[in-house]
Amino acid sequence: MKQLSLSRFPLAHFPMLTAMYQDCDGKGKMEIAEREYQREEIGGYLMIEALHVENFRSFKSLKLTELKRVNIIVGKNASGKTVLLEAIKLGLDATPGSFPWLNSMRGMVFMIPPNLTAEQFKEQFVDFFHEFNPEIPISIQIDDSTKKRASVRIYFDPKRATTTQPGIGFQPAPSLSIPTTIIPLAFDRTDFQGQKNVLLASINPQGQLNMEPGRPMGISSGFFSNAYFGVPQENATWLSKLSVEKRSGEVIEALQRHFPFVRDVTSETTVQGLGTVYADLPHLPRKIPLSLVSGGISRLFTLMLAIVTFREGVVLIDEVENGIFHDQWELIWKTLADLAEHHNTQLFVSTHSNECLKAALPTIREKPHDFALLRVRRENGQSVIEPFRGDQLESALDKNGEIRD
Amino acid sequence: MSFSGFTKTRFMLCEGDDDKGVLEALISARHLPDFQVCHSAECNPRNVGGRSGFSGAIKGMEALSGFRDLRALLIVTDNDALQTSFAEVQEAISVNGHTPPSNPHAVGNMLGKAISILMIPSDTVAGDLETLCLPAIHAQWPNAQQCVTAFLQCSGADAWTKRSSISKARARSAAVGFHEPDPYKGIGHLFRQGVLSALNPCFDSVATFLQNFDGMCGI
């Protein structure tokens, strides 16, 4: 099994998570799913056209069809907007490492202590199952625009149970000196190419957490939580890659349309040897890290970079309005939609802000068929989604109406 | 525009603010089933009023807050042209992809919601809101009929070819000449304020329609 580098995982943003992983195996070599985003040339523009989710978090059953290039998600707090984004991300990655990663995006620590029992192991994952019931598998199916399907079923598989051997690999507590049988969590996957495999989250016989890595299902994706303001090193990596490919200019120009005072943006290496995105501002004698210029600008730049980086993939943005002054919103919708169109990137974008939504109207009006509205709400404790076409969204916004719920 | 979403389970779309005032007063005075009443310019992004604003008003309504809880819609329109008025409203519904009612006593379908059309003064009599309201105006100001008739003869308005304009001129002239507190107020406002009474028998047929609306729509 491939040992994966933690450097691929944006853990610098989550120091507690980093600490937890290092604690788990003592060497910082925890096997986690590889999150290297891959742009795969599968042939033509692929887009998620339909989504079927069962038993994931607040969704008991969700079927969406006719998804578009830009899908705007609205709904009240705790309606399930973020869960929808998570479901898409999980469906596109479908690896055991997806679970701790998704929790980390919510600021939660995924803690696997040593000496854990089978129940404690299972308890780490029950939050992902609808109504905390791991007896019913999580199922996610994604149909792309060429009618290919990727699917994953996630369930505890007693047939693959393993027995830990206390005393090997860690110091057992006296009460846990007997072997513990762990029922692994299975990710039963079929990717867009029809290839099937099963990845497991389990505890190995030495008592260490084992998250089998796997490749994404065939459509690359980036997820940006509401609190995600970009990881400088990750942004620097993306920017360098785009620069080498002579594709960074479009992103920088887009940023300059919003913030003309930014003379240039470059990927530089700090004295600590870390990559960081720097901005050149005319009134300063030296470049300054972009994240020090403004958190909001840095976030916007991250989103722009992501749309270009994940071309022919999917970018999931939670609360797009965060950190951005309202006078930029209209242009932001246009920028994001134009970049998405140019790079065949599909967007799922949530927002709480009516003002931000209304600012989308001119962009939606240009190409209403590129947009869909997904209104999430709670009904009998479950999340449900009302989908609307772009022209319906346009008309409702045109009325200056309330569409959030 | 002041319509941002649905707040009640019944929604009434009418042609203008006078219609809205009269219908709201009627519902209130007679304790009829409650409707959220809006006129077309309120719901139309281009502020197009009257019957020609219905299509734009209906467009995109389904994406607005509260549509889910809506049970029925009623469109109220003047029957100023017996041959075409009803058909024009049908067209405003169907052009948005919904199924209009086949006749004024039938119920259509708008994404699972009942939708009906109320013709005023009635589906068999040509006229408009003012035609419907004139008896109530004359009941409040008994001299109005004689005075207004003389005035319209004098001005020549009684010879206008557009009949709906004549009835509007009658109602408007009466309000101007008899409502001393504010001659500028339209009849919708006067009904809202109770200056004119929605209890007048001229509204009985409309009230009956609204009273039976739920049963007609099966809600």
- A119 at the B interface (CB within 8 A)? no
Specify burial of residue B31 (Cβ count, 10 A radius: 0-12, 13-18, 19+): exposed
Facing residue for B45 by CB, picked from A373, A386, A398 = A398
Q: Rounded distance, CA A173 to CA A287, Å?
A: 53
Say what the pLDDT of residue A178 is. Answer: 66
What amino acid occupies position A305? L
Say what the pLDDT of residue A166 is. Answer: 58
Among A149, A285, A304, which Cα is nearest to A239's? Answer: A304
Cβ separation of A402 and B5 shorter than 8 Å?
Answer: yes
Among A366, A401, A383, which Cα is nearest to A70's? Answer: A366
Say what the pLDDT of residue A30 is. Answer: 31
Say what the pLDDT of residue A177 is. Answer: 56
Residue ranges for chain A with pLDDT beneath 70: 1-46, 114, 165-178
Q: Chain A: nearest CA to B108, how far in angstroms?
A: 20
CA angle at B21 for the pair B17 and B23, rounded to the nearest 5°: 115
Over chain B, what is the mean pLDDT?
95
Q: Which residues of B touch A352 (CB under 8 A)?
A: none
**Integer CA distances (angstroms), A92 to A46, A71, A140, A231, A325, in order:** 12, 17, 9, 22, 32
Cβ separation of B60 and A386 shorter than 8 Å?
Answer: no
- B110 at the A interface (CB within 8 A)? no
Q: How far apart are the first and last CA of chain B?
A: 29
Q: Chain A: nearest CA to B215, how far in angstroms?
A: 28
Q: Chain B: nearest CA to A388, how far in angstroms?
A: 7
Q: Name the β-bridge partners of A376.
A: A75, A385
Alpha helices in chain B (DSSP H): 17-30, 40-43, 54-58, 85-94, 129-140, 144-155, 163-178, 187-192, 204-211, 213-217
What are φ and ψ of residue A388, in 5° steps? Answer: -135, 150
Q: Rounded distance, CA A186 to CA A208, Å?
A: 17
Q: Rounded distance, CA A218 to CA B22, Å?
A: 62
- A396 at the B interface (CB within 8 A)? yes
A401 vs B54, higher pLDDT: B54
Sign for the pseudo-dihedral over CA of B212, B213, B214, B216:
positive
Token reading at A9: 């995982």
DSSP 8-state assignment for residue A1: -
Token reading at A163: 């027995």
Q: In B33-99, at which residue ranges do the beta strands (DSSP E only) sit?
A: 36-39, 72-78
Q: Name the β-bridge partners of A52.
A: A63, A141
Mean pLDDT of B140-149: 96
Say what the pLDDT of residue A109 is. Answer: 79
Cβ separation of B4 and A400 shorter than 8 Å?
Answer: yes
pLDDT digits over B161-214, tens only?
988 889 999 999 999 999 999 999 999 999 999 999 999 999 999 999 999 999
**Integer CA distances (angstroms), B131 to B139, B165, B170, in order:** 14, 10, 9
Facing residue for A395 by CB, picked from B1, B5, B60 = B60
For chain B, give the percent of residues with pLDDT over 70: 100
pTM, rounded to two decimals = 0.85
What amino acid occupies position A351? T
pLDDT digits over B61-75, tens only?
999 999 999 999 999
- Cβ contacts of A314 within 8 Å, gap of 6 or more: A48, A88, A92, A219, A220, A221, A222, A345, A346, A347, A348
Q: At what angle do helices B204-211 and B17-30 cross, to 10 degrees?
A: 70
Greatest CA span in chain B, whole angstroms?
Answer: 54
Cβ separation of B44 and A395 shorter than 8 Å?
Answer: no
Per the rule left: phi > 0, alpha: psi between -120 and 50, beta: everything else, B147 is alpha
Q: Rounded distance, CA B75 to CA B117, Å?
A: 5
What amino acid occupies position B116? S
pLDDT digits over A65-117, tens only?
999 999 999 999 999 999 999 999 999 999 999 999 999 888 887 777 767 77
Q: Rounded distance, CA A95 to CA A201, Å?
A: 9
Cβ separation of B43 and A399 shorter than 8 Å?
Answer: yes
**Integer CA distances (angstroms), A114 to A117, A158, A231, B98, B171, in order:** 9, 21, 30, 62, 86
Among A324, A358, A337, which Cα is nearest to A74's? Answer: A358
- A394 at the B interface (CB within 8 A)? yes
Q: Tell me which of A74, A358, A380, A399 to substitute to probe the interface with B (most B C-beta atoms closer than 10 Å).
A: A399
Q: Chain A: nearest CA to B78, how far in angstroms?
A: 24
Cβ separation of B60 and A391 shorter than 8 Å?
Answer: yes
- B59 at the A interface (CB within 8 A)? yes
